[in-house]
Structure 1
Amino acid sequence: MNLSTHFENELRRNGYLFRRYWIESIFLLGLVITLFGGFVFAVLSFNESSWSSGAVDRLIVGFALWLFANGAVNGAMGDVMEETEQRTLEQICISPLPLEKLLLIRASVKMLTSLLFLLIALTIVDKLTAARLQINFSVMLALALGALPSLLGIGYALAGLLLVVKRGAVVQIVILPAIIGLVSLPAFPVNVFAALPYSLGAAAARAASGGARIDAGVYVTVGLNSLLYFVFGLLVFRWFEKRARRDGVLGHL
Structure 2
Amino acid sequence: MRDALRLFQAEWVRSVILMRRYAGNTVGSVLGLTIVFLGLFFSTRYVSGMSSFGERLDSVVVGYVLWSLILFVLADVSMDAQNEAQTGTLEQVCLSRFGLTRVFVLRSLTRVVWTVLMNAAVLGLICLVTGTRLHLSAWLVVPVASALLGAFGLAFMFGALALGAKRIQQLLNLANFALLFVVMTPFEKTAPGLFPLLSLLPMVPGAAGVRAVMVDGSAPGLVGALVMLGSGALWFALGVQVFRRADRAVRARGLLGSY
Stretches of structure 2 lacking an aligned partner (at least 5 in a row): none
Partner of 1:244: 250
**Residue 205, structure 1, aligned to residue 210, structure 2:** yes
Q: 1:187 maps to which residue?
A: 187
Q: Tell me: CA distance 1:195–1:44, structure 2 relative to 1, closer, same or farther (3 Å).
A: same
> Does the 8 Å contact 2:100/2:247 carry over to 1?
no
1:160 match: 160
Deviates more, 1:143-152 or 1:29-38: 29-38
Q: Please state how far the C-alpha of 1:39 moved relative to its aligned partner.
A: 4.0
Which of 218, 226, 229 pairs up with 2:235? 229
Cα 1:170–1:50 shift into 2, 3 Å: closer
- Taking structure 2 as the reference length, the TM-score comes to 0.85
Deviations 1:185-237 (A, max 9, x none): 44325421111000121133234443263432322211111111111112211
Aligned pairs, how many? 250
- The one-letter code of the counterpart of 1:241 is D
* Number of the residue aligned with 1:34: 35
Alignment TM-score, normalising by the size of structure 1 = 0.87
Once the 2 structures are TM-superposed, how far is the Cα of residue 101 of structure 1 from its aligned partner? 1.2
Aligned residue in 1 for 2:65 = 64
Same amino acid, percent of matched pairs: 24
Q: 1:42 to 1:33 in 2, by over 3 A?
A: same
With over 3 angstroms needed to count, the CA separation of the structure-2 counterparts of 1:116 and 1:61, relative to structure 1, is: same
**Which AA in structure 1 matches 2:159?**
A
Measure, in 2, the Cα distance between the counterparts of 1:210 and 1:18: 32
- Alignment CA distance shift 1:125-1:178 (3 Å): closer
Q: Deviations over 1:40-72 (max 9, x none)?
A: 44454436455872x111111111111111122
Q: For residues 219 and 192 of structure 1, what CA distance do their matches in structure 2 show? A: 17
Give the CA RMSD over aligned residues: 2.4
